[in-house]
Amino acid sequence: MHILGIETSCDETGVALVEARGGVSRPRFLVLKNLVSSQVKIHASFGGVVPNLAKREHLKNLPKLWERIMNKELGIRNGGRRPIIPNSKFTIPNIDLIAVTVGPGLEPALWTGINFAQGLGEKYGIPVIGANHLEGHLYSFLLPKKKSIISNSRFSIFKKNPNYRLPITNYKKIFPSIALIVSGGHTLLLCMNSLVSWKKLGETRDDAAGEAFDKVARLLKLPYPGGPEIEKLARSGDSQHIAFPRPMLHQKNFDFSFSGLKTAALYYLQDHPRAKKEDVAASFQAAALDVLTHKTRRAAEHYGARSIIVAGGVAANKALRARLGKAARALEVPLFAPPPAYNLDNAAMIAAAAYFSAFRKKRNALSAKGNLRI
């Protein structure tokens, strides 16, 4: 099945074409194209994402990305009659499904993607389904590491693709799995019994982990988004220099709280205006990662997890991956994380989420839901 994914929930416009097969029991994905147009530079001067600016940029970017996918990148011309893949039979009507993020996210931004998807659906007679952005992050670990080579035949892309590796060979062996989703808007822990059934164990009661990274970065006068900047500075800092709090570390639940940690950083900087930025970054990161790792590990122990999954923008943080990797090794279970291209918001993961939602009873309505839950 060929799925066109569309993502506009925040400040990245994404359009991707993904081939999916195998169903829930043995899913396999090939990313034929994954285009992301980032608005980070536009929002950076405001220190965060401005919803109406995001909407304006999505409106501008969506037709451009679609055009790039269809014309330049894949060689479709003449209103879809020429093939997507040169010399093949693949044309726009061969796209089986259009998947678009309906939430959670900024509603004005989400609507741009939904309207665009519906327009394409009507024009080409392709069904459109709504995808949950968080489920997209959750499934991003299933996307293949290497870029796909597009082969000539419409039906043999998988067979001919030498780069395709199954990230997992036996899906029965990885469940139950503990999944940590850490992004700019969310921090939550799930216990998954299969790829399509899970229980939410806990979530943040205030700021998301990525939001805390962004806010502390702003206190340190680092550019937006702050996560990668903090990570960079932290490498040359002393992580034990400041004893920042580890909020809720020892509470028996699986919830998180990061706003107190951010406030502690604020007070520290007020009291120590000449503090070394590297030490503040390293000490803050250590505190945040301690909580994330500790709670994930405890959940894995408690539920007898046979694997750990991490996803979302903060999963790009190498120190977090290293810490979770160590925890997973101690428990003798594998850690699954998305390849670098799919940590941040993208449309390939939205296509994957839509593929699985097709197997679940619950369908998302095609209207923007800023607070959609997982």
Build a one-symbol-per-residue string for 166-205: x at contacts with Zn ion by CB under 5 A, - elsewhere: -----------------x----------------------
278 touching Zn ion, by CB under 5 A: no
Q: Which is nearer to ligand KG4, 19 or 229 (CB)?
A: 229
Q: Which is nearer to ligand KG4, 248 or 344 (CB)?
A: 344
Pairing relation of β-strands 187-194 and 177-182? antiparallel
What part of residues 330-349 is at the interface with Zn ion (CB under 5 A)? Answer: 345
Residue pair 321/337 in contact (Cβ under 8 Å)? The answer is yes
Q: Which of the listed partners (ligand KG4, Zn ion, none) does 227 bind, with a CB threshold of 5 to 8 Å by partner kind? A: ligand KG4
Question: How far apart (Å, rounded) are the C-alpha atoms in residues 191 and 203?
Answer: 12
Q: Enter the DSSP assignment of 344.
A: S
The residue type at 236: S
Record the tokens describing residue 20, joined without a space. 């999916």
Of 193, 190, 224, nearest to 47 by C-alpha is 224
Residue pair 7/352 in contact (Cβ under 8 Å)? The answer is no
Q: Which is nearer to ligand KG4, 35 or 316 (CB)?
A: 316
Strand partners, 199: 191
- Total length of the chain: 374
- For the chain, what is the largest distance between any 2 Cα atoms, rounded to a whole number of angstroms? 67
Backbone φ/ψ region at 227: left (φ over 0), alpha (ψ -120 to 50), beta: alpha
Q: Which is nearer to Zn ion, 229 or 345 (CB)?
A: 345
Q: Which of the listed partners (ligand KG4, Zn ion, none) does 226 bind, with a CB threshold of 5 to 8 Å by partner kind? A: ligand KG4
Q: Which is nearer to Zn ion, 192 or 311 (CB)?
A: 311
Q: Which of the listed partners (ligand KG4, Zn ion, none) does 225 bind, with a CB threshold of 5 to 8 Å by partner kind? A: ligand KG4
Question: How far apart (Å, rounded) are the C-alpha atoms in residues 148 and 158?
Answer: 9
Q: What number of other Cβ atoms are within 10 A of residue 197's Cβ? A: 11
Q: Which is nearer to ligand KG4, 114 or 314 (CB)?
A: 314
Residue numbers of the site for ligand KG4 (CB under 6 A)?
Answer: 10, 183-185, 210-211, 213-214, 225-228, 231, 312-314, 316-317, 344-345
Q: Please state the closest distance from residue 7 (CB atom) to ligand KG4, in A.
A: 10
Build a one-symbol-per-residue string for 63-102: x at contacts with Zn ion by CB under 5 A, - elsewhere: ----------------------------------------
Residue whose structure tokens are 């279970």: 333
Residue pair 5/129 in contact (Cβ under 8 Å)? The answer is no
Q: Which is nearer to ligand KG4, 319 or 331 (CB)?
A: 319
Q: Please state the closest distance from residue 322 (CB atom) to ligand KG4, in A.
A: 12
Binding region for Zn ion (CB under 5 A)? 183, 345
